[in-house]
A and B are shown apart, each in its own frame.
Chain A
Amino acid sequence: MIYREAGDFKTTYRDDSQTFPIRFDRRAYYALVAVAFLVLPFVMNDYWASAVFVPFLIYSIAAIGLNILTGYCGQVSLGTGGFMAVGAYAAYKLMTAFPELNIFFVVLLSGGVTAGVGVLFGLPSLRIKGFYLAVATLAAQFFLVWLFNKVPWFYNYSASGQINAPERTIFGIIVTGPSTPAWSKYLFCLTILFILSWVARNLTRGEVGRTWMAIRDMDIAAEIIGVNPLKAKLTAFAVSSFFVGVAGALFFAVYLGAVEVTEAFGIQKSFLVLFMIIIGGLGSMFGSFAGAAFLVLLPVFLKNALVGGLGWPTDLAAHLELMIVGALIIVFLIAEPHGIAALWRTAKEKLRLWPFPH
């Protein structure tokens, strides 16, 4: 009965175009943000931070990024892992070359560098469409990973070929390096996710977002009504790569601390993020979060259930995880091609009418 839009009249177009048009949603959102910022940091421990929260926050950023390109603009990319690697290595080079540069700006600049690389690999999208483009993005994936593996300049000629994040602080709080406390990793990633998802929301609800969706739904018609397809696609590539690059920088600098490129940013990563947005919902901000949460939690859950509960060996659990993820993707595509976000929307529509559905 609380979940109503009746009586919640919009008198301006401004009110009408806000993010959460229903009052209950708005309040739930404020409550969630308050808990995330004010409560969780105080109860955060190492296990929850490294198994669930930090990867969830970082993958959410990557998923939003890929969703902008694939879900909103309709350009399928299999290069996410490669672009995350660009973000990670850009962060590493910036951190080691400019030790006094604040880590916050390092992360944003890494995103900027990735945006540039993304635009470069997005250029062929004007000529290449659909599957062909998806395969073309594999060129980015394999070439970039190879590049970071083979050119010693990128890993500062270290003997192991690994990159290690040095210690950096914000307001005196350590956020990168081996001695970072769990809560500060969490809070740093949360802050960046909060800012970036607000930016993504603004972009997708305005003119840029509509241009992207127009290209996605019917590129020829879009061009005829005045969309410059090259500009639209390249901005999508740029913005998307920026997000993915920031995610890569955080993944390396904050989450893992040390990275070997083929292991951390291989083709599997590209698929993982793609699955997040398929399961979550293409072209939906909520879907990006839902998909990231689902695929971060699923292995944790399976591991606890199969290894912890049934005492099965870990490799068997890993294989079952592959099967379950694969099967879930198929089930989702058959039952609800628009993912968790669409299920959620349907549930809300029902709830809005409950308990008087007629």
Chain B
Amino acid sequence: MLDETEEGHVTEDGRQIGGVLMEMRNITLRFGGVVAIKDISFDIRKGEIRAIIGPNGAGKSSMLNVISGFYHPQEGEIWFKGARRKPMKPYQVARQGIARTFQNIALFEGMSVIDNIMTGRLTHMRSGLFSQALWWGPAEREELENREVVERIIDFLEIQHIRKTPVARLPYGLKKRVELARALAAEPELLLLDEPMAGMNVEEKEDMSRFILDVNDEFGTTIALIEHDMGVVMDLSDRVVVMDYGRKIGDGPPEEIRNNQDVIDAYLGVAHD
């Protein structure tokens, strides 16, 4: 386990891990009488890949939704970049530099790939309604600058050939990649990935793992991800949070989690009392 006061370190493969970027303190989330998350605390450090794992219904997606401001926990505090985050709308969270992908792909089906990825840039676009109505000048310039950023991401994720294709026509694996592209286009400080490899074959999983590592490595983006495939999680992540029935039952580097008795019980299905 890492020391809480530590101001950063360098991993074995040479990546810089910094101080705490986001911290969840005693988060509790209820829907009516159902407790989805119960008193969970953990942190995410700058530059690391942080995984959240757990059996179905453990509350992982709810946790991601809390981070992106879609659900508001009844108790607990969220700290981001050293300041306590007041309750805010999802779009305000996005503007703070948090982008995400979704478990069931949430692309804009009526738009082309390029337009979908361009929507990721909108937190960076400033020109107002009137200047856009006139197009010439600032609005066009801004559009073209952002288009260049998007084209770099398209190159990075190797999806040049489908640039103009309507998203609805794409196969599942490519949709996942386009969704990642849209999140990356926001140039987020924290990237949330909700089961980025669900429903993929081995080859696609390998591609996606490579992209995730490259994003983390090249752009230094902090990543928090939910994933079912344990092999992938253990290979990719620096630290892992394990959830079960809305509680945290483990937190630490992969090798430590692998030997944690509670985690083994949860996955092998030991009866709860």
A and B touch in the complex (CB under 8 A): yes
Partner of A202, one of B95, B118, B119, B132: B132
Write the nearest CB–CB distance from A249 to chain B, whole angstroms: 19
Residues of A within 8 A of B148 (CB): 13
A213 to B168, CA, bound (A): 14
Verify A223–B132 contact, CB threshold 8 A.
no
Instruction: Name the one of A202, A222, A227 contacting B134, with C-beta atoms under 8 angstroms.
Output: A202
A217 interface neighbour in B93, B111, B123, B139, Cβ under 8 Å: B111
Q: How far is the CA of A340 from the CA of B140 in the complex (A)?
A: 30
User: Once the chains bind, are B106 and A227 in contact (CB under 8 Å)?
Assistant: no
Chain A residues contacting B120 (CB-CB under 8 Å) are 225
- Asked, given contacts A17-B147, A218-B108, A224-B70, whether A207 binds B132 with beta carbons under 8 Å apart, the answer is yes
Q: Is A214 an interface residue when CB atoms closer than 8 A count as contact?
A: yes
Q: Which of B102, B106, B108, B135 contacts A206 (CB 8 A)?
A: B135
Please report the C-alpha to C-alpha distance between residue A46 and residue B110 in the assembled complex, in whole angstroms: 42
Residues of B with C-beta under 8 A to A210: 111, 115, 118-119, 122
> Considering the chains assembled together, what is the distance between the CA atoms of A17 and B139 in angstroms?
13
Taking a contact as CB atoms under 8 Å apart, the answer to whether A213 and B110 are in contact is yes
- Size class of the contact patch on chain A: 20 to 34
Are the C-beta atoms of A213 and B140 separated by less than 8 Å? no
Contacts of A17 in B (CB 8 A): 143-144, 147
Q: Which of B122, B134, B135, B144 is the one whose CB lies under 8 Å from A225?
A: B122
A and B contact pairs by CB, cutoff 8 A, 30 listed: A12-B144, A13-B144, A13-B148, A17-B147, A202-B139, A203-B129, A206-B135, A207-B127, A207-B142, A208-B129, A210-B122, A211-B122, A213-B111, A214-B111, A216-B108, A217-B109, A217-B110, A221-B108, A222-B108, A222-B119, A224-B69, A225-B91, A225-B94, A225-B119, A225-B123, A225-B186, A226-B95, A227-B119, A228-B89, A235-B129
Residues of A within 8 A of B182 (CB): 225
Report the Cα distance A17→B148, complex, angstroms.
12
Give residues in A with beta carbon < 8 Å to B: 12-14, 17, 199, 202-203, 206-208, 210-211, 213-214, 216-218, 220-229, 235, 239, 283
Number of B residues with CB within 8 Å of any CB on chain A: 43
Q: Give 15 new A-B contacts, CB below 8 A, not counting A13-B148, A208-B132.
A: A203-B133, A206-B139, A207-B121, A213-B115, A217-B107, A220-B70, A221-B106, A224-B100, A225-B91, A225-B94, A225-B120, A225-B186, A226-B94, A227-B119, A239-B129
Task: List 10 A-B pairs, minimum CB-CB distance, nearest first.
Answer: A226-B94, A221-B106, A217-B108, A202-B135, A226-B123, A224-B90, A13-B147, A223-B90, A199-B133, A207-B125
- Chain A residues in 8 Å Cβ range of B143: 17, 206-207
A283 to chain B minimum Cβ distance, whole angstroms, is 7
In Å, the complex CA distance between A215 and B68 comes to 18
* Nearest neighbor of A210 in chain B, beta-carbon distance: B119
CA distance A283 to B132 in the complex (A): 18
The A-contacting residues of B in range 141-197, CB under 8 angstroms, are 142-144, 147-148, 151, 182-183, 186
Please give the distance in Å from B106's CB to the nearest CB on chain A. 4
